[in-house]
Amino acid sequence: MFDPSLRAQTIALWREHNPALNTSPMEIVAQIKHISSLLEVAVEPVYAEAVLTAAEVELLVPLRYADEAVTAIRLAELLGMSRAGVSKTLANLERRGMISRTTNPADRRSALIALSDAGMSAVDDVFPRELEAHARLLAGLGQDRNKVLAALAHLAATLESQLNLSEGR
């Protein structure tokens, strides 16, 4: 598991050996990476026996209650994922019968993606358990929850602004 003292030691070593280097970003980035790894650890038991991976569920959840099928490109945009990664994951899900693809009548070069009955069942099984795991992990925030959420939203907006990303992506 992650040892916070190692992060501090690493930053101190970089400061010592490269005093001109601004190491302050390491503090924020290291925290983000640490939080990400803790979230993954929290859901490992959920996915240990599941028929879907966490990455697959992330793709399928938006399809679960969608009014209509969506294109892979739109799914990638919604989730901020690469088109290639989405296409590869969707191909695997299609082979396993979790989704269906139909030709897009508006653009015959693309396909519309919809969740199959098996995909719906799998999402309905695993996603609530993932949310429960996250809720247990975050319960300790208590009254600070809204402050943390606001700080994270501010960080995301700042990063998007620095990268010149539009809201609609």
Q: What is the pLDDT confidence band of residue 1, given thresholds at 50, 70 and 90?
A: low
Q: What is the pLDDT confidence band of residue 2, given thresholds at 50, 70 and 90?
A: low
Average pLDDT, whole number, for the chain?
91
Q: What is the pLDDT confidence band of residue 122, given thresholds at 50, 70 and 90?
A: very high
What is the C-alpha to C-alpha distance for residues 51 and 125, in angstroms, rounded to an integer?
A: 10
Q: Is the distance from CB of 169 to CB of 76 less than 8 angstroms? A: no
CA-based end-to-end distance of the chain: 35
Q: Is the distance from CB of 70 to CB of 76 less than 8 angstroms? A: no
Six-digit token string for 87: 């296409």
- Amino acid 123 reads V
- Residue 102's beta-bridge partner residues? 112
The SS3 of residue 81 is: coil
| Predicted local distance difference test score (pLDDT) of residue 131 | 97
Check pLDDT > 90 for residue 7. Answer: no
The SS3 of residue 148 is: helix
Q: Is the distance from CB of 169 to CB of 77 less than 8 angstroms? A: yes
Sequence-distant (6+) residues with CB within 8 A of 28 are 155
- What average pLDDT score do residues 94-100 get? 97
Q: What is the pLDDT confidence band of residue 166, given thresholds at 50, 70 and 90?
A: low
Give 167's DSSP letter.
Answer: S
| Predicted local distance difference test score (pLDDT) of residue 169 | 47
Sequence-distant (6+) residues with CB within 8 A of 120 are 64
